[in-house]
Amino acid sequence: MIDWGALLVPAAVLLVVPLAIIVGYRRSVGSIVVSGALAAVTFAAFWLILGGTSSFFGNSDNYVIRMLIFVGGVLLALAAWILSLNAAAQARRWIWVGILLVAGYCTLAAIYASFSIQPCFGPLDGDLACPPLDPFRQALTFLGYLACPVAALVYGVYGARPFGRRVRRLPDGLTVSSLRAEPVTDAARAEDAESAG
């Protein structure tokens, strides 16, 4: 028999993506900013407070909470990546598309590396033996985790704006005609005024 109560919490983690999109719906890039910021905060908490992926091996206290925080961060990072790639491609900001692609793949590579290159050995007395991790490698992995959420957040805040000078708008009622149009003479204006009157 399936314990449906135990499935409610993992199923609720899947709702972080639609929730982030709904919260940021008022701005065109609001969902990107919300999901990127939440993913960055989630990954920072996962690595700095909970100890990163090395906390999965060894101490089993709060394993489910650590796993849910990790999965929620990955889902939010993927949502931020996909939303920002879509927005950058639709806006034809190809430099941002390239930056976001590289940042997303750095994050995916860091996630893969953090699990595939685990220096833990087989069980000794019923427990895994994990030597202390190299701080430089942990810092690189942590920065890799943050690459995609931070790039999406920066795109959401700054990248959606046009580069260079701001586009100026003409005041209401003022129009600009082409220089190639035939010049309008005073006689033509008089004819237009008579036909309108």
Rounding to the nearest 10 degrees, give the CA dihedral for residues 80, 83, 86, 91.
Answer: -90
Rounding to the nearest 10 degrees, give the CA dihedral for residues 56, 58, 62, 64.
Answer: 40
pTM for this predicted structure: 0.70
pLDDT tops 90 at residue 173: no
Please report the pLDDT score of residue 17 as a whole number: 76
Distance of alpha carbon 109 from its chain centroid, rounded?
16
Question: pLDDT per residue over 181-194, tens digit each?
Answer: 666 566 666 666 67
Please report the pLDDT score of residue 56 as a whole number: 65
Question: pLDDT per residue over 108-167, tens digit each?
Answer: 999 888 877 665 655 555 555 566 667 788 888 889 999 999 999 999 888 766 655 555
Question: Tokens 């490698």 label which residue?
Answer: 137
